[in-house]
């Protein structure tokens, strides 16, 4: 083999080694969640539009993009559309790490849910390239939703 071929094989081996180390670090060591959900509560419910506003409070550790998957439970589990995260104050670089952040997300309630129900969410974050396939998951507490009589 020529000297150029030896250099090319060596360079590819080093590149493969570096990518393997980076992937292993992302998969096994970068596993701390970007937020810890402290609380969630329904601040208002409009029976006409069937929109509930859910206020979230969390401890922010770092910035990572993500989505929210949600479910409503009333004897039957209803999946909700994903909501892109994070809220503006989570993205703000002026907001320091380990600070409390709050945001409000509208929750569209299907018309066939007429009684009180429970809302549950799971936040899925991608803090590195490996987590786009295997996201970090943060579960919310159960949020009871009480519909006003009407």
Range 130-138 average pLDDT: 86
User: Which residues span the domain enclosing 22?
Assistant: 1-30
Kindly state whether residues 63 and 107 are assigned to the same domain. yes
Kindly state whether residues 44 and 63 are assigned to the same domain. yes
Number of domains the chain contains = 2
Task: Give the 3-state DSSP-derived string for the chain, with helices as H, strands as E and coil as C.
Answer: CCHHHHHHHHHHHHHHHHHHHHHHHHHHCCCCCCEEEEEEEEEEEECCCCEEEEEEEEEECCCCCEEEEEEEECCCEEECCCEEECCHHHHCCCCCCCEEEEEEEEEECCCCCCCCEEEEEEEEECCCHHHHCCCEEEECCCEEECCCCC
Please tell me the predicted confidence (pLDDT) of residue 47.
86
pLDDT digit string, tens, across residues 31-82: 888 888 889 999 999 988 989 999 989 888 888 888 888 887 777 777 887 7
pLDDT digit string, tens, across residues 3-28: 778 887 887 888 888 777 877 676 67
Kindly state whether residues 7 and 74 are assigned to the same domain. no
Note whether residue 16 is domain-resident.
yes
Note whether residue 150 is domain-resident.
no
Note whether residue 111 is domain-resident.
yes
Please tell me the predicted confidence (pLDDT) of residue 20.
77
Please tell me the predicted confidence (pLDDT) of residue 6.
80
Note whether residue 25 is domain-resident.
yes
Kindly state whether residues 75 and 116 are assigned to the same domain. yes
Note whether residue 65 is domain-resident.
yes
Range 104-110 average pLDDT: 86
Kindly state whether residues 7 and 62 are assigned to the same domain. no
Please tell me the predicted confidence (pLDDT) of residue 92.
66
């Amino acid at each position: 083999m020529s000297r150029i071929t030896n250099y090319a094989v060596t360079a590819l081996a080093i590149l493969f080694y570096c990518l393997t180390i980076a992937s292993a670090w992302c998969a096994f060591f970068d596993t701390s969640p970007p937020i810890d959900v402290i609380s969630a509560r329904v601040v208002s419910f409009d029976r006409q539009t069937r929109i509930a506003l859910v206020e979230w409070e969390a401890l922010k550790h770092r910035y990572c993009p993500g989505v929210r998957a949600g479910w409503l439970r009333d004897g039957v589990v209803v999946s909700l559309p994903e909501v892109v995260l994070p809220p503006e104050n989570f993205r703000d670089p002026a907001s320091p790490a380990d600070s409390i952040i709050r945001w409000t997300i509208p929750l569209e309630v299907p018309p066939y849910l007429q009684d009180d129900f429970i809302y549950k969410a799971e936040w899925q974050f991608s803090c590195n390239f490996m987590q786009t396939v295997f996201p970090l998951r943060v579960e919310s507490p159960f949020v009871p939703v009480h519909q006003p009589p009407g």
